[in-house]
Amino acid sequence: MNPAPQDAQTTTKDKTILASLTRRAFLVNAAIAACGLPLYAQTKAAKPTHSCIVVGAGFAGLTAAYRLSAAGWNVTVLEARNRPGGRVWSHNFAQAPELVCEMGGEWIGKSHKQIRALAEELNIPLEPHANRVWLLQHGQLHGPGDWGFSPESHSAWQRFVEQYKHYTDQDKRHLDQYDWWTWLGKIGMTDNDRRIREIMDSTDFGESIRQISAFSVAGEYVDADYLNPQSTDEMDLHVRGGNTLLIKALAAHLTPGALHLSSPVKSITQRAGRVTVSTASEKFTADSCIFAAPASVLNSVQFDPPLSPAKSLAADELEYCRIIKTQMLFDRRFWPAEDFSLMSDETSHEYFHSTQGQPGPRGILCSYAVGDKADVLASQTKVDRQFQLMHDLNAVSPDAAAALIDTVDQPWQDDPWVHGAYALYRPGQSFRIRPLLEQPHGKVLFAGEHIADWQGFMEGAVSTGEIAAQHLLR
């Protein structure tokens, strides 16, 4: 852990902001308490100045850049890809340009206040995108209303939710030692209900719940309608016309020339209160820097002075989950309802109607497969993958294969700028490595979904961009 600067003080304003941070603040406080350091002692190291280099043009980086630019700062954004948006990327098939689907981030939740406010501020309309859930288990298809969870599991869950309200820091640390699968068994959920939760919850966390910290999962589900099979669980809305429109709106508010695409950052050097960020061919110098790229690429950037060994190890330890999205364009909507989605124990895992509310008759279904299933699908040829997906869809309709026009897929685990879909906190990691990843490194602040309260969401990315910008503007 980096030593805190000696002259730092925690102000009343700091405390107000701190109080407004929920799970993130809790984790940071826990780590700080463990080391005996005041939280804002560390952020004081990055005192506001008037120029900033932002690394990464995803939601986190662009939100920060947008706020700083609006406040008159001189901002440069360096992005490795040839497009802004990072893990948000809308797609149109050439055969059906009137339809849009998402290759990355899809839903905006009703509770996602900051991204919803941002969309409103930028005049980007959102529209409903919630589904009802069919279940395909052991080859049997069950419609919404025909499946659910047992009374034993409901009672077990209610008991846990009540207990969780009184959890101390120590109880939460204890919970963090468990994986969610084991924890659900421990609180008394039945085996078959756990198997269904495994299918459903792994789509939220991107890997088997046998691998995810029970503390991470509980934080998301205790306030949700967890055992209601039709709970939308933050899968409520999306941007009309594609989520990329919100990315484009943010980028459009930057100073012309501020966004540099195809510019992977190679090194970040700090000398005499200035930060120099270098790509293969250019150098940019500013008073501060926001590193808004995933933790999975942190150690591929050379820092001088170097990152603390603890932070560097934390970045190596943080896994990113495996998700492949395959969007399938069909000449007709053969599925049973516009708001159709399907959880299945088949390889293709989850299906949902991507083009709900968009003009027909053509339509796009998405297969969303996680963990080992994602690797199986990603290893197949396009033809073999299509064969697998049509085989799995046969339980929904024998018309699927005949209606298929084309597919496009994105295996995020193979993406060179993330190496996965989103961060995955394993048992024991939340309290240990997350605070290290949040910690500023001199004048370099960090942002991104991996260190957000709404971790794994666009909301999380936006909120960390807002926080980083606020720190500099204070």
- Chain residues binding ligand FAD by CB under 6 A are 55-61, 78-81, 86-88, 104-107, 264-265, 292-294, 297, 301, 323, 325, 412, 417-418, 421-422, 448-449, 456-461
Q: What is residue 3's DSSP assignment?
A: P
**Minimum distance between the CB of residue 453 and ligand FAD, rounded to whole angstroms?**
12
> Would you call the peptide bond into 48 cis, given omega within 30 degrees of 0 as the criterion?
no
Question: What's the rounded Cα separation, in Å, for the pair 388 and 378?
Answer: 12
Question: What's the rounded Cα separation, in Å, for the pair 71 and 67?
Answer: 6
Question: What's the rounded Cα separation, in Å, for the pair 305 and 311?
Answer: 13
Token pair 């209606």 is at which residue? 403
153 vs 203, which CB is nearer to ligand FAD?
A: 203
103 vs 156, which CB is nearer to ligand FAD?
A: 103
Cα distances (Å, whole numbers) of residue 138 to 130, 142, 386, 401, 450: 26, 11, 21, 21, 35
DSSP alpha helix (H) spans, 142-298:
151-164, 169-176, 180-187, 191-205, 214-221, 244-252
DSSP string, 399-449: THHHHEEEEEEEEGGG-TTTSSSSEEPPTTTHHHHHHHHHS-BTTEEE-SG
106 vs 179, which CB is nearer to ligand FAD?
A: 106
Question: What's the rounded Cα separation, in Å, for the pair 78 and 285?
Answer: 12
> Would you call the peptide bond into 125 cis, given omega within 30 degrees of 0 as the criterion?
no
**Minimum distance between the CB of residue 220 and ligand FAD, rounded to whole angstroms?**
12
**Minimum distance between the CB of residue 95 and ligand FAD, rounded to whole angstroms?**
23
Contact predicate 468/448, CB 8 Å? no
**Minimum distance between the CB of residue 3 and ligand FAD, rounded to whole angstroms?**
27
**Minimum distance between the CB of residue 187 and ligand FAD, rounded to whole angstroms?**
27
**Minimum distance between the CB of residue 412 and ligand FAD, rounded to whole angstroms?**
5
**Minimum distance between the CB of residue 459 and ligand FAD, rounded to whole angstroms?**
6
325 vs 349, which CB is nearer to ligand FAD?
A: 325
**Minimum distance between the CB of residue 320 and ligand FAD, rounded to whole angstroms?**
9
96 vs 292, which CB is nearer to ligand FAD?
A: 292
SS3 of the chain: helix, strand, coil, percent, to 5: 40, 20, 40
**Minimum distance between the CB of residue 125 and ligand FAD, rounded to whole angstroms?**
17
Question: Sign of torsion, CA 396 398 401 405?
Answer: negative
Please give the backbone phi and psi of residue 415, each rounded to the nearest 5 degrees, phi first.
-75, 125
175 vs 447, which CB is nearer to ligand FAD?
A: 447
11 vs 22, which CB is nearer to ligand FAD?
A: 22
107 vs 303, which CB is nearer to ligand FAD?
A: 107
37 vs 318, which CB is nearer to ligand FAD?
A: 318
403 vs 452, which CB is nearer to ligand FAD?
A: 452
Cα distances (Å, whole numbers) of residue 178 to 158, 217, 372, 429, 433: 19, 10, 21, 11, 16
Identify which of 49, 3, 60 has the alpha carbon closest to the alpha carbon of residue 451.
60
Question: What's the rounded Cα separation, in Å, for the pair 333 and 42?
Answer: 54
Contact predicate 119/110, CB 8 Å? no
**Minimum distance between the CB of residue 397 and ligand FAD, rounded to whole angstroms?**
25
Burial of 42 (0-12, 13-18, 19+ CB in 10 A): buried
80 vs 251, which CB is nearer to ligand FAD?
A: 80
**Minimum distance between the CB of residue 118 and ligand FAD, rounded to whole angstroms?**
13
Core vs surface per residue 253-269: b (16+ CB within 10 A) or e: ebeeebbbeebbbeebe
Identify which of 389, 372, 472 has the alpha carbon closest to the alpha carbon of residue 43.
472
